[in-house]
């Protein structure tokens, strides 16, 4: 029997937890206001009781937009050292969450090392791990087997789990009736769909949803309600399958809250820019203002190798329109497992989207660093600019690659630098380009 309250349970009882105090300080929000948002489910603080190294973060209403980094091994790329280098990269550049999506062999050794090391919250998709963990083929796995994997991840200290509980028979019927170009592109969703079709049974995560919630509540693990029917191309966005599943997720959200389990809801995918804002409002309405976690969305399908950019465009619009949590996308998306450089590019692109959205939403102190950069540029203080930059190493390398003759300018404008010229005039100095030495 547990001897503690979940974050939501404590919030409903009027208790401000130590984790709430930390998040309130990070977010410049009153702790009592935060407690009320957690009690309503509009903010979640994914924080498993067994994740001792975590630095708690809030996701949802009035919070900064957070970003997640995906990593993990597969059958074709199983170097744990490389994956740990990606972890270091994620932590260095300020990712608030890391999802271990390993789907090959016994993954718990890596996951336990990750949880022990990481101050970022850790997420998983138990469905990915089921076949390797259980050493059974898909058709042989029982509903109780799936629950065993969920419990194993919760016991290890995973802070949030993607559970594809919304792809039930009703949602599948809508998906099959309304034909798609790309069908199902969610890995976990496709496995569950295959299991349902081969066995003739209901989705076990839907049928035994209360048992799933009991496990998550025991460890205060947040449920991230997966969007198995998310669109995998812009032509499939906002179709019957996506909306049918979203309606199911809205009902599952309330069932989780009734058991004091914190909730995030996952969203699209691929979507044209003109549909994004409406989709964010639709999710918030149907899912009762639960925090919204989006993959992208990618706003076009024809730029493989550049999908960190197509995703950042969609992510910025989504977050400015109400999304709370962005899953990064790397240049390797749709092509291969990302390497460490891909991971860095994906993180930076996602951070740009999140930060731009926070400025647009007026998040407290969002512009502090931008204002500091403006002051440094006004002073033409390159060292200060590099210190403020999110990727100071890259900024410095670009500057030094073609150094200017005068360090009070850069090599693009030289002495015709607009900032330098204006500063000189306002300081009462004469600007004479031809006679200057």
Which residue ranges are tagged as binding site for substrate? Answer: 70, 99, 128, 164, 186-188, 227-230, 266, 293
Classify the C-alpha dihedral 231-233-238-240 as positive or negative.
negative
Binding residues for Zn(2+): 270, 334
* Cα–Cα distance, 204 to 222 (Å, whole number): 19
Q: Which residues pair with 265 in a beta bridge?
A: 225, 292
220: left (phi over 0), alpha (psi -120 to 50) or beta: left
Binding residues: 70, 99, 128, 164, 186-188, 227-230, 266, 270, 293, 334, 410, 413, 417
* Cα–Cα distance, 288 to 42 (Å, whole number): 8
Cβ–Cβ < 8 Å for 342, 351: no
* Cα–Cα distance, 120 to 116 (Å, whole number): 11
Residue with tokens 């997640």: 68
Phi, psi (deg, nearest 5) at residue 35: -55, -45
DSSP character for 203? P
* Cα–Cα distance, 115 to 112 (Å, whole number): 5
Binding residues for [4Fe-4S] cluster: 410, 413, 417
Helix or strand (DSSP H, E) at 71:
strand 66-71
Token pair for 274: 């003109």
* Cα–Cα distance, 79 to 128 (Å, whole number): 18
Pairing of strands 263-267, 292-295: parallel
* Cα–Cα distance, 69 to 122 (Å, whole number): 10
* Cα–Cα distance, 229 to 236 (Å, whole number): 10
């Amino acid at each position: 029997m547990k001897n503690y309250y979940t974050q939501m349970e404590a919030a409903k009882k009027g208790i401000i937890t130590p984790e709430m105090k930390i998040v309130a300080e990070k977010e410049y929000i009153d702790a009592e206001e935060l407690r009320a948002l957690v009690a309503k489910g509009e903010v979640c603080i994914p924080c498993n009781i067994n994740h001792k190294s975590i630095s708690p973060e809030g996701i949802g209403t009035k919070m900064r937009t957070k970003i997640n980094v995906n990593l993990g091994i597969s059958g074709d790329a199983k170097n744990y050292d490389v994956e740990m280098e990606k972890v270091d990269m994620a932590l260095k550049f300020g990712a608030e969450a890391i999802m271990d999506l390993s789907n090959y062999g016994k993954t718990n050794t890596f996951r336990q090392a990750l949880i022990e090391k990481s101050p970022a919250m850790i997420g998983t998709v138990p469905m990915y791990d089921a076949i390797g963990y259980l050493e059974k083929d898909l058709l042989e796995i029982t509903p109780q087997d799936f629950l065993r994997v969920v419990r194993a991840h919760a016991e290890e200290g995973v802070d949030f789990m993607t559970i594809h509980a919304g792809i039930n028979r009703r949602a599948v019927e809508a998906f099959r009736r309304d034909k798609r170009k790309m069908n199902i592109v969610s890995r976990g969703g496709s496995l569950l769909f295959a299991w349902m079709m081969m066995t003739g049974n209901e989705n076990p995560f839907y049928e035994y949803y209360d048992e799933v919630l009991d496990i998550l509540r025991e460890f205060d693990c947040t449920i991230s309600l997966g969007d198995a029917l998310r669109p995998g191309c812009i032509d499939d966005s906002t179709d019957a399958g996506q909306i049918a599943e979203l309606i199911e997720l809205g009902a599952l959200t309330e069932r989780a809250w009734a058991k004091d389990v914190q909730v995030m809801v996952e969203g699209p995918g691929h979507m044209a820019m003109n549909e994004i804002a409406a989709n964010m409002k639709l999710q918030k309405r149907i899912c009762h203002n639960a925090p919204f976690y989006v993959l992208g969305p990618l706003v076009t399908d024809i730029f493989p190798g550049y999908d960190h950019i197509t995703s950042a465009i969609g992510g910025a619009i989504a977050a400015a329109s109400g999304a709370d949590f962005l899953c990064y996308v790397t240049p390797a998306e749709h092509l291969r497992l990302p390497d460490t450089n891909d991971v860095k590019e994906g993180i930076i692109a996602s951070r740009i989207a999140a930060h731009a959205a926070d400025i647009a939403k007026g998040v407290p102190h969002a512009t502090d660093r931008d204002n500091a950069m403006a002051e440094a540029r006004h002073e033409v203080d390159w060292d200060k600019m590099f210190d403020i930059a999110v990727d100071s190493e890259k900024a410095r390398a670009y500057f030094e690659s073609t150094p200017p003759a005068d360090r009070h300018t850069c090599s693009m404008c030289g002495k015709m630098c607009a900032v330098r010229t204006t500063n000189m005039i306002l300081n009462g100095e004469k600007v004479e380009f031809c006679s200057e030495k």
